[in-house]
Amino acid sequence: MRKTIATGGAAAIAAALLSLPGAANAAPSDTRQVPSTGTTSIRSLAAGADGLQQPELRAGPDDEEAGVPSTRPDPNFKHGIFPKHPLDAPVVASSAVAATNPAVQASIQGLNHRDQRLANGGNQFSLEPPDQALCVGNGFTVESVNSVLRVYDSHAQPLTGVQDLNTFFGYPAAINRTTGLQGPDVIDPICHFDPDFGRFVVAITTLHVVPETGDFTGRNTIDVAVSNTGDPTGSWTIYSVPAQNDGTEGTPDHGCTTDGTTHGPCFQDYPHIGGDANGIYITTNEYDLFGPNFNAAQVYAFSKAQLAAHPGSVRVTLVPNLELAGTPGFTVWPATSPANQYATDANGTEFMLSSVAGDGSETGNPTGTARRIGLWALTNTASLNAATPDVRVTNRLVTSQTYVFPPKVEQKPGDFPLGQCINDTTTVVAGLTGCWQLFFAPADEPAHDEVISSLDANDTRMQQTWFTNGVLWGALDTAVRVDGELRAGIAWFSLEPKINGSGKVGGSIKKQGYLALGNSDLTYPAITMLPSGQGAMAFTVAGPSHYPSAGYVSISSSGTVGPIHVVGEGLGPADGFTSYKAFVGTPIRTRWGDYGAAVTDGSSIWMASEYIAQTCTLGQYLTAPIGSCGGTRTSLGNWSTRLTKITP
């Protein structure tokens, strides 16, 4: 996000490895056979019509609120895992903004809220945020967001229409607009291309519901679709992994609750995907589905050779309840590698990274700040090809630069017609006095005092990781102090992990630094590296100087971070339903992210970030069909994604 790196970040920074014992997984791994639930393909289903339909929002908690973390015990300061007092935000120099983008080969508006809401004939709910998934290979690019996907060619030209994820994974529509029956809640799409077998993998978490009410049943699954060939426009095979981990359907019992005491189902949130020479790995954060507790991070491991063969059933190995120096592992992000860039130590190794802060509640860190990161290794991954896999987890705490819970993102003033509609009490619309009545019954009249919101800048959990040429890269969101102001910025890290003779992970930080931009905020980084050692990091640029925009920085083979490139300049403020207390109550949390994506095809880099690609006035918003603003948005959302291809 910036050209200039904070003091000490431009040069290699030696980071001491804490002398803590390697931690193994807290319980034995569990291997099950999971049968295929059928085949699918990406179909170009007709889109629905613009206009208002009720219900627009799925009732009940969303994926971030389905489990509300409990307050954990007092943190363990024995090994210095957490600071005893909140750390100050690092002081960071502002980057320059590049005037041109010579490396850009293609840059287009990707999937947006209107695509998502109108997919499958409009039998969808309005959703925020997009949750960006992206994978590329064999001349194809697959993009997915909540809750649709699409395939493009190597020039970013669409090859398919927009497909809803419910239909793609063989489920009923999110909502049948004729009968009112609801299908499962499919969330958090992730995507991976395996360069060795030439297969695309798209996965989601699925919360199963009672069709008549939409209430969660307790059952949830990790659904994995694997392309049967290297062409994602062809057929795919689906596997549905039961993941409630309450002892039903062959799952282990992880002791989740409905109220802190009574036994109940668990829930797999925030899945992420990576791969090495032997396996495809999906990590999750496990919560009570109906109760107050966070459990720990989990790893679901698959043999990628077996997935590529798309048999009638596949093995899945669950490595449960990851712990780091006595605290629950949280958002342990598995690395992705280009072809032939895998770690072969200990019969195959998949590296992962995590922070030790998050928002504080999951990790037990009350400060939301840290100067340590977690380095993880899943070893003996070649055993995934055997009938009885025997993978093992070790980890270490590595001393790092400071990172601090980021502030909310201030938005540049502009038209915000959904919020202005809630505030309006005089305009006659559809025979009703007051635009607000389009959404609320008279008995539910809201306060008419909505304002442009501040965007969520994430917490300090680790974001996308990449392993290339023996170096592991990652980045996360942090508060920074730039030009005397507290802003959201990015902390990035590169490490050289090692596996010793006993199979335990060690290593040190090779380089690290910060990215910041004066009078602006930078959020949701996604880093990727080519085999050449060059790379890039994508993110959102926002704040008083920019409407939410898509940006990136290049990373040289020596680890130097270049100036900020804005490849998708935002056109207006975010104006979605999570921005307004009339819809979500207080405090407002304007959902953004929840993650970006950056990947390589071996020679080029593809990136995707959330941004705002449209703007309109309240008058234009109220022009029929209401809320579409000329086919650029829907009544309840205006987010978009930006797909960019660069060749360094």
Q: How far is residue 236's CA from residue 37's CA, in Å, rounded to a whole number?
A: 11
The per-residue pLDDT for range 190-218, each reduced to its tens digit, is 999 999 999 999 999 999 999 999 999 99
Q: How far is residue 318's CA from residue 439's CA, in Å, rounded to a whole number?
A: 44
The answer to whether 226 and 237 have CB atoms below 8 angstroms apart is yes
Residue 180 neighbours by CB distance under 10 Å: 12
Q: Specify the DSSP class assigned to residue 325.
A: T
Q: How far is residue 233's CA from residue 408's CA, in Å, rounded to a whole number?
A: 40
Domain map (residue ranges) of the chain:
30-416+452-646
DSSP 88-146: PPPB-PPPPB-S--TTEEEEEEEEEHHHHHHHHHH----------EEEEETTEEEEEET
Closest alpha carbon to 82 in 529, 397, 347: 397
> Angle at CA 569, nearest 5°, toward 474 and 44?
80
Q: Which residues have C-beta within 8 Å of that of residue 639, sequence separation ≥ 6?
A: 112, 113, 128, 129, 130, 574, 576, 610, 611, 612
Alpha helices in 130-210 (DSSP H): 165-168
Arithmetic mean of pLDDT over the chain: 92
The answer to whether 301 and 288 have CB atoms below 8 angstroms apart is no
Q: Specify the DSSP class assigned to residue 345.
A: G
The per-residue pLDDT for range 337-379, each reduced to its tens digit, is 999 999 999 999 999 999 999 888 899 898 999 999 999 999 9
- Residue 82 exposure: Cα atoms within 13 Å on the Cβ side: 24
Question: Does the bond joining 594 to the residue before it have cis omega, within 30 degrees of 0?
Answer: yes
pTM, to two decimals: 0.94
Closest alpha carbon to 483 in 514, 520, 434: 520
Determine the length of the chain: 648
| Mean local confidence (pLDDT), 527-541 | 97
Q: How far is residue 93's CA from residue 480's CA, in Å, rounded to a whole number?
A: 9
Strands (E), 449-484: 466-468, 471-482
Closest alpha carbon to 404 in 482, 491, 481, 479: 479
**Whole-number CA gyration radius for the chain:** 23
Q: Specify the DSSP class assigned to residue 175.
A: B
Matching residue, tokens 């109906």: 290
Q: pLDDT band for position 80 (50/70/90)?
A: low
The per-residue pLDDT for range 145-171, each reduced to its tens digit, is 999 999 999 999 999 999 999 999 999
Q: Is pLDDT above 80 for 18?
A: no
Question: Cα dihedral angle (62, 64, 67, 71), rounded to 10 degrees?
Answer: -150
Q: pLDDT band for position 81 (50/70/90)?
A: confident
The per-residue pLDDT for range 414-458, each reduced to its tens digit, is 999 999 999 999 999 999 999 999 999 999 999 999 999 999 999
Q: What are phi and psi of 150, to 5 degrees?
A: -155, 155
Q: How far is residue 203's CA from residue 201's CA, in Å, rounded to a whole number?
A: 7
